[in-house]
Amino acid sequence: MVSLVPSLTEAVAVSGAGVLAGVTDWCTHPAELGGAGAAGAAGAGGGPVRIGGTKNPDVRAIVDLAPDLVIANEEENRAPDLEALRAAGLEVLVTEVRDVPSALRELERVLVGALGLVRRPGWLVDAERVWRGVEPGARLDAFVPVWRRPWMVLGRDTFAGDVLGRLGVRNVYAGHAERYPRVAVEELVRVGAGCDLVVLPDEPYRFTAEDGPDAFPALRPALVSGRHLTWYGPSLTEAPTVLGAQLRGRGA
């Protein structure tokens, strides 16, 4: 199997050891996979081959691996790359994740339906239980930049937006026509005057205490874990606790 999605790479790797032949440069979890920047090289101990990025995978390298299945995501991966893999005779399973329930369903489809596990792994059962018990608390209004230069924010119909909503954070751009609109910083400052905070994840753009809050000095910044906000995999079991603390300024 080849995974083109970091979330799915982690989910498969911790649920079915040894089944991944190839992963992207950005597949950093579980820890034994190593970090980014190892493109084209097998992991330590003969682990999966790095086959490029999520947006620019090495199609030839994937075909040469002759996987029985390639797992992808309609948002993270480009349709032309997936079409090229299919044209080369490979089976491609494309997930669609827009909220927590669809993430749980798609994970079961990959792990039980495609990977062939006889039952859902324990961490997935735990994630379902954890999210059923989430209490959102007092509502906070916020916007959520995901990129800088140009500024882009979470818009409508996103997994991360649903995660935040379940934790009591209302994304003020949730009604935007686009899923990831580009917004001038001047507008963000103006909109921020009616918000409680700005949510700044450390991926896909790595916002830090020195890079991000400076643009919105009048607004409380919540620096949050991008993996817990945007990944759908084993991190789902921890996400409510980790994000809840970060959003309300209590630390991770």
Mean pLDDT of the chain: 93
In whole angstroms, what is the distance from residue 27 CA to residue 7 CA? 8
104 lies in some domain: no
Q: How far apart are CA 215 and CA 27, in angstroms?
A: 30
Instruction: Among 40, 63, 96, identify where a domain stops.
Output: 96
Average pLDDT of the residues in 15-19: 88
Residue 34 pLDDT = 62
Nearest alpha carbon to residue 4 among 70, 102, 69: 70
Same domain, yes or no: 84 and 147: no
Q: What is the pTM of this model?
A: 0.92
Domain's final residue, options 35, 68, 96: 96
| Containing structural domain, residue 157 | 140-247
What pLDDT digit, counting tens, does each position of 52-70 carry? 999 999 999 999 999 999 9
Q: To the nearest 10°, the Cα dihedral for 114, 99, 54, 223?
A: -140
Residue 198 lies in a domain: yes
pLDDT digits over 3-12, tens only? 999 999 999 9
Residue 17: predicted pLDDT: 78
Q: Is residue 102 part of a domain?
A: no
Over 70: is that where the pLDDT of 46 sits?
no
Out of 33, 61, 96, a domain closes at 96
Over residues 169-208, the pLDDT tens digits come to 999 999 999 999 999 999 999 999 999 999 999 999 999 9
CATH at residue 148: 3.40.50.1980
Residue with the two structure tokens 């480009």 = 78
Per-residue DSSP letter, 57: B
